[in-house]
A and B are shown apart, each in its own frame.
Chain A
């Protein structure tokens, strides 16, 4: 029928336009990444060309070498790694008992304590940084990595989320375990933790990513160059002797981006779901 044919053609056109638009969006997002990588392989002169070239004429891997020469990037990398892992692991030690106690224990002051957690969720680091800086300065800890770790291991979002998870575990399971004469510790490790695994993974992923990427806090707390984290170090690339040496700066940037990108590629759906959960709360 005539009507059907026209409709089908219209449908096909719409689909194609839709696909093209989606491709445009993907390009807009992907291009800066591509530009970063391609610049990192160009020579200085080629990088500074205007109009710029899309593809590097030759691949200059030595740009990466220059990065290693200009700044102690390996140190920076390990500082970031140490801090991120330390926060990740120590955090579990602190928030799991706290979340558990909020979910399944009753005691005086519980409401007050939980209020403090809510406050922690609301008060951002942009407000606490100055007093905390003075605190660490007085304690002479500014020459260590401690200021980058300790303030973050009582992650209020983590406590909040874990508490939700623990609360959702049906009372009957715990009662059955108690009837099986399991100690409280055993209940926690063999029953509750496995059930809360998704929450623990989510908290871990979000915490690692945010600690690795953080710039503001490490910039302020750490002045010693050997203790800088990667974002701070790479940002400094911009203003040191490598001013306007975009090919080298981009190489450093690639080093900063790749670890997180790898993690994202491996767990993209999980990470996206984690962010959605934290956004809607």
Chain B
């Protein structure tokens, strides 16, 4: 069969498309997909993984993790951090977003919004360093304010009971502006005539918020919660800069644990196993995220 000019050009189109995507695909495969298999594979070994001296030990690494009190604490810490962070951030973000949504003060609200977003764009290292200083138990400025208000000095990062909460506070300070912005975007998708209908229905402001506004943005809120949770599972920077997992493992979180076992204790097999556990957690959360993401829009 004679090939027509059109079919040749279509074929060329196909090949072009394929080739155009190749570089990205190769890179993505090498640096995202392949490492996952590598991680799972090497979680079944111990010893120096790069050399030929590695030893196949099956699920022993996992068994070790399962019986390790430290690892249990690490998982608990990560979950506590996530719950505290997501809870605090979402409440603050919703309250601030609703408050800043008043069209009467649009100009001021925009300025405030721009301001509270600023910490989100700078490095977590910078934020950690400043707060490490501000939270210094002896000379930190925060304790000055606390003592001036009549309370005893707060131990912040120096005590196991308060260190985790302090880390959460730092992260909340850094990201509340970002999450507020996301909630604001959701609020603005609510058509104004619905609020007008509520006004005509003589609805008090609080009832309007709980029965109309909140339900309408709830899929977005849920979605944001999952995103924030996934971000919380991944924290490392503030832990490494501010507490190094201490005091007494009270701020030892999953990624920090993996890092420590890989580079400080020389046990990459355990690190890989813990990494697989992190992977499973992230996968579950991402799956939920995609599921909720599909339910977000109401009728227009």
Contacts and interface: CB of A to CB of B under 8 A. Distances in A.
A49 B278 CA distance: 43
A269 B115 CA distance: 11
Q: Which of B33, B125, B240, B283 has the most chain A CB atoms closer than 10 A to its own CB? A: B125
A253 B139 contact: no
Contacts of B144: 50-52
* Range of interface residues on B (Cβ < 8 Å): 35 or more
B213 interface: no
B18 A29 contact: no
A220 to B, nearest CB: 7
A131 B38 contact: yes
B132 interface: yes
Given A25-B116, A49-B139, A260-B122, A219 B240 contact: yes
Interface string B121-156: 111111111111110001101001000000000000
B236 interface: yes
A210 B208 CA distance: 39
Interface in B1-51: 13-18, 20-21, 23-25, 27-36, 38-39, 42, 49-50
A49 B133 CA distance: 12
A154 B27 contact: yes
A101 B108 CA distance: 44
Interface in B230-284: 230, 234, 236-237, 240-241, 255, 258-259, 262-263, 268, 271-272, 275, 278-279, 282-283
Nearest to B262: A130
A10 interface: no
B112 A25 contact: yes
Given A29-B118, A109-B18, A122-B282, A272 B24 contact: no
Contacts of B236: 126, 215-216
B88 to A, nearest CB: 14
A28 B24 CA distance: 43
B105 interface: yes
A232 B141 CA distance: 25
A15 B99 CA distance: 12
Contact of A29 (B21, B25, B105, B177): B177
A250 B42 CA distance: 41
Tell me what chain B mostly uses at the interface: helix, strand, loop, or mixed: helix
Contact of A261 (B18, B118, B124, B282): B118
A170 interface: no
Contact of A131 (B15, B27, B34, B96): B34
Given A35-B141, A131-B39, A234-B126, A101 B18 contact: yes
A130 B122 contact: no
Given A30-B115, A101-B17, A110-B17, A154 B129 contact: no
* Range of interface residues on A (Cβ < 8 Å): 35 or more
Tell me what chain A mostly uses at the interface: helix, strand, loop, or mixed: helix
B240 A256 contact: no
A87 to B, nearest CB: 12
A272 B293 CA distance: 21
Given A98-B24, A128-B36, A32 B131 contact: yes
B182 A154 contact: no
Nearest to B123: A213
Given A25-B112, A98-B21, A212-B123, A235 B129 contact: yes
B87 interface: no
Contact of B130 (A22, A98, A253, A279): A253
A272 B117 CA distance: 8
A280 B220 CA distance: 8
B42 A131 contact: yes
A264 interface: yes
A127 B126 contact: no
A219 B173 CA distance: 24
Contacts of A61: none
Interface of B: 13-18, 20-21, 23-25, 27-36, 38-39, 42, 49-50, 96, 99, 105, 108-109, 112-134, 138-139, 141, 144, 173, 177-178, 181-182, 185, 220, 224, 227, 230, 234, 236-237, 240-241, 255, 258-259, 262-263, 268, 271-272, 275, 278-279, 282-283, 286, 293
18 contacts: A25-B96, A29-B119, A32-B131, A50-B144, A93-B23, A97-B24, A98-B25, A105-B17, A105-B20, A120-B32, A127-B39, A151-B31, A156-B28, A215-B123, A215-B125, A235-B128, A250-B129, A276-B185
6 closest cross-chain pairs (CB), A and B: A105-B17, A98-B24, A154-B27, A97-B20, A131-B35, A131-B38
